[in-house]
């Protein structure tokens, strides 16, 4: 009924939603529903948008197709809030593809607070359907970067084009999206993911002094082709030793090929350390090695934001578009995908970033912890938090169907499914650590596992589908401490 060919207004949505109470109740009782992760009330969720703290409240938006768990419909922005990153209040959709600027979807973007007002920037996706020979890469599509100012995060104001197709360099095709705003010395920067006409991913940078008028500044790219499209760019600075900030560019490249990319996910999400100035100043810049944010099956298009107390927090979409595996059990119930737990970012070794669950999550830990001895198996709550400090090889099995195996000899960690019923098509992922594995933390939330190795130097995120109820967890090679969450 709803598709990208027609606009969707708030009234259309509300009329449709009025008939969905039964479906929503059925979804809410699915045993695969998560306890402390963001997930959609109905249908499909994709990447996090507009992450921002206002007062004591974190505002979280996400790409949302409530109409279809397999994402056949258009995307809206749904709004949630949290004060503790553990319980979330769902406020429902706030941004609809209801205008000529965004008629085929209110795509991803960000939020920026200035002088008490929230400035949202997102991509209005417009597809044309008057001909049947459009490829929607070079023809038949426009992507507008739209600016909306709001005083109330539940009521977004008038939509105006901040940067549109006339502002893109001539060699850029129709794919330009996911604006993220930064401020530096009184100048605002907008980074945009883009695809050149000859299929090279890059980031376009626009600048503004007032958030209204934008001009093209520069392009961030690599000498060698690195994928055909870079989605959801972000730029992050952390105070480092001696007051010199350490800097990173984050993006989600599509179309990486060859070598390790052929054994990994269909699309990647990662970051590169930056030296110099990527914002279009006079100095040159250099991009270092590309590090995956997460080596698991389900991680894409993350967004980072700074909290008022100066923490840098990353939230990823625990999903993967166009993958050859999926989430059949939840789709059958009418919903799909979730976010990762919010992750605190700190500086690691050699241009890397460490990710650890925000400490707020510790508040869910049970008073008493259980010690799981080397070689022992225990039946645990499916919401658990396990930590271990291995000194060499170790293996961990969850629900008899998912294994994490670490081999000290080559510092390699493998995540593999041994029970197809739990995998929904997932097979194996591996990562080589840059140092021997000396810490493991596994956060389980019913149908999700997030595994943090070496204090978050490497992470695996995956969905999995164990039978409802407690899960068997077995560790060998080391003891572990387990809390239920």
According to DSSP, residue 245 is labeled P
Whole-number minimum distance, CB 205 to ligand FRU, in Å? 17
Backbone angles phi, psi at 329, to 5 degrees: -60, -40
Q: What is the DSSP string of 364-388?
A: GS-SS-EEE-TT-EEEE-SEEEEEE
Contact 299, 314 (CB under 8 A): no
Query: In angstroms, what CA-CA distances link 48 with 157, 286, 358?
Result: 20, 28, 17
The residue (of 232 and 473) whose beta carbon lies closer to ligand FRU is: 232
> Nearest approach, Cβ of 65 to ligand FRU (angstroms)?
8
Can you tell me which of 94, 95, 203, 232 binds ligand FRU, judged by CB under 6 A? Answer: 232
Three-state secondary-structure class, residue 262: helix
102 binds ligand FRU (CB under 6 A): no
Least distance between ligand FRU and beta carbon 53 (Å): 22
Closest CA to 299 of 408, 431, 395: 431
Q: Which is nearer to ligand FRU, 280 or 321 (CB)?
A: 321
Of 114, 126, 112, 74, give the one whose Cα is nearest residue 95: 74
Footprint (CB under 6 A) of ligand FRU, residues 104-133: 107-108, 123
Measured from the CB atom, the residue of 303 and 424 that comes closer to ligand FRU is 303
For the chain, the maximum distance between any two Cα atoms, rounded to a whole number of angstroms, is 65
Rounded to whole angstroms, the Cα distance separating 475 from 464 reads 18
Nearer to ligand FRU, 177 or 180 (CB): 177
Considering the complex, state which of residue 85 and residue 267 has its C-beta at the smaller distance from ligand FRU.
267
Stretch 364-393: interaction string toward ligand FRU, x if CB under 6 A: ------------------------------
Q: CB–CB of 166/137 below 8 Å?
A: no
For the CB of residue 322, give the shortest distance to ligand FRU in the complex, in Å: 10
Q: To the nearest whole angstrom, how small is the minimum distance from the Cβ of residue 481 to ligand FRU?
A: 36
Classify strands 377-380 and 428-432 as parallel, antiparallel or unpaired. Answer: unpaired
Based on the shown chain and the rule CB under 6 A, indicate whether residue 159 belongs to the binding site for ligand FRU. Answer: no
Closest CA to 38 of 93, 82, 94: 82
Torsional class of 31: left (φ above 0), alpha (ψ -120 to 50), beta (otherwise): alpha
3-state secondary structure 124-149: EEEECCCCCCCCCCCCCEEEEEEEEE
Site for ligand FRU in 2-61 (CB under 6 A): 46-47
Catalytic residue at 47?
yes
CA 482 – CA 381 distance, rounded (Å) = 10
- Residue closer to ligand FRU (CB basis): 41 or 385: 41
Residue 267 · residue 275 · CB < 8 Å: no
Q: How many CB atoms lie within 10 A of CB 116?
A: 7
Report the nearest approach of ligand FRU to the CB of residue 358 (Å). Answer: 23
Give the residue, chosen from 98, 142, 167, 178, that forms a contact with ligand FRU under the rule CB under 6 A: 178
- Count of residues of this chain found to bind ligand FRU when the rule CB under 6 A is applied: 14
Number of Cβ atoms within 10 Å of the Cβ of 55: 7
**Residues forming beta bridges with residue 398, ordered by sequence position:** 402, 473
231 binds ligand FRU (CB under 6 A): yes
By DSSP bridging, strand 335-336 and strand 43-54 are parallel
For the bound state, the minimum distance from the C-beta of residue 473 to ligand FRU, rounded and expressed in Å, comes to 32
366 contact partners, CB below 8 Å, separation of at least 6: 483, 484, 485
Residue with Cβ nearer ligand FRU (124 or 348): 124
Quick one: which of 4, 53, 63, 431 contacts ligand FRU (CB under 6 A)?
63
Comparing CB distances to ligand FRU, the nearer of 45 and 458 is 45
Residue 107 C-beta: closest distance to ligand FRU, Å: 3
Question: 98 or 178, CB closer to ligand FRU?
Answer: 178
Residues 131-150 that bind ligand FRU (CB under 6 A): none
Q: Which of 62, 141, 177, 195 binds ligand FRU (CB under 6 A)?
A: 177
Say how far apart CA 438 and CA 460 lie, in whole Å. Answer: 16
Among 75, 274, 314, 386, binds ligand FRU (CB under 6 A): 75
Restricted to residues 291-330, the positions that interact with ligand FRU (CB under 6 A) are 300-301, 321
Q: Which of 230, 269, 427, 461 is nearest to 357 (CA)?
A: 461
Q: Least distance to ligand FRU from the beta carbon of 321, Å?
A: 6
Among residues 21, 30, 32, 47, the one annotated as catalytic is 47
Residue recorded with tokens 């970012």: 345
Residues designated catalytic: 47
Residues within the interface to ligand FRU (CB under 6 A): 46-47, 63, 75, 107-108, 123, 177-178, 231-232, 300-301, 321
């Amino acid at each position: 009924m709803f598709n990208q060919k027609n606009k969707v207004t708030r009234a259309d949505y509300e009329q449709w939603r009025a008939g969905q109470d039964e479906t929503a109740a059925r979804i809410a009782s699915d045993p695969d529903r998560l306890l402390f992760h963001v997930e959609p009330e109905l249908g499909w969720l994709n990447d996090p948008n507009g992450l921002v703290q206002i007062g004591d409240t974190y505002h979280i938006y996400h790409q949302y197709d409530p109409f279809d768990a397999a994402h056949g419909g258009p995307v809206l922005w749904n709004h949630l809030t949290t004060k503790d990153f553990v319980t979330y209040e769902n406020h429902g959709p706030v941004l609809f593809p209801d205008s000529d600027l965004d008629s085929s979807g209110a795509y991803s973007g960000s939020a920026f607070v200035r002088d008490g007002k929230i400035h949202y920037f997102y991509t209005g996706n417009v597809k044309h359907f008057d001909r049947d020979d459009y490829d929607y890469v070079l023809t038949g599509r426009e992507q507008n970067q739209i600016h909306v100012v709001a005083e109330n995060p539940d009521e977004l104001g008038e939509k105006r084009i901040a940067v549109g197709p006339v502002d893109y360099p001539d060699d850029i095709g129709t794919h330009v999206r996911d604006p993220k705003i930064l401020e530096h010395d009184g100048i605002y920067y907008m980074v945009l993911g883009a695809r050149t006409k000859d299929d090279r991913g890059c980031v376009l940078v626009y600048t503004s002094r007032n958030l209204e008028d934008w001009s093209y500044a520069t392009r961030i790219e690599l000498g060698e082709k690195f994928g055909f499209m870079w989605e959801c760019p972000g730029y992050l600075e952390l105070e480092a030793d001696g007051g010199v900030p350490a800097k990173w560019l984050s993006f989600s490249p599509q179309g990486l090929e060859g070598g390790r990319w052929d054994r990994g996910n269909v699309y990647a999400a990662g970051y590169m350390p930056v030296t110099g100035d990527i914002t279009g100043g006079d100095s040159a810049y250099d991009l270092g090695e590309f590090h995956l944010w997460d080596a698991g099956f389900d991680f894409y298009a993350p967004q980072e934001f700074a909290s008022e107390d100066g923490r840098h927090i990353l939230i990823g979409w625990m999903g993967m578009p166009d993958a050859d595996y999926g989430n059949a059990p939840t789709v059958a119930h009418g919903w799909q995908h979730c976010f990762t737990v919010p992750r605190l970012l700190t500086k690691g070794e050699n241009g890397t970033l460490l990710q650890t669950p925000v400490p707020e999550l510790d508040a869910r830990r049970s008073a008493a912890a259980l010690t799981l001895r080397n070689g022992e198996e225990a039946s645990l709550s499916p919401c658990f938090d396990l930590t271990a400090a291995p000194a060499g090889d170790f293996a961990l099995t969850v629900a008899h169907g998912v294994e994490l195996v670490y081999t000290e000899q080559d510092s390699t960690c493998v995540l593999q499914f041994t029970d197809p019923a739990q995998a929904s098509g997932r097979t194996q992922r591996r990562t080589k650590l840059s140092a021997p594995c000396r810490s493991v933390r596994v956060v389980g939330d019913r149908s999700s596992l997030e595994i943090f190795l070496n204090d978050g130097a490497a992470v695996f995120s995956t969905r999995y589908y164990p039978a409802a109820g407690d899960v068997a967890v077995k560790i060998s090679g080391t003891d572990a401490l387990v809390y239920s969450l």
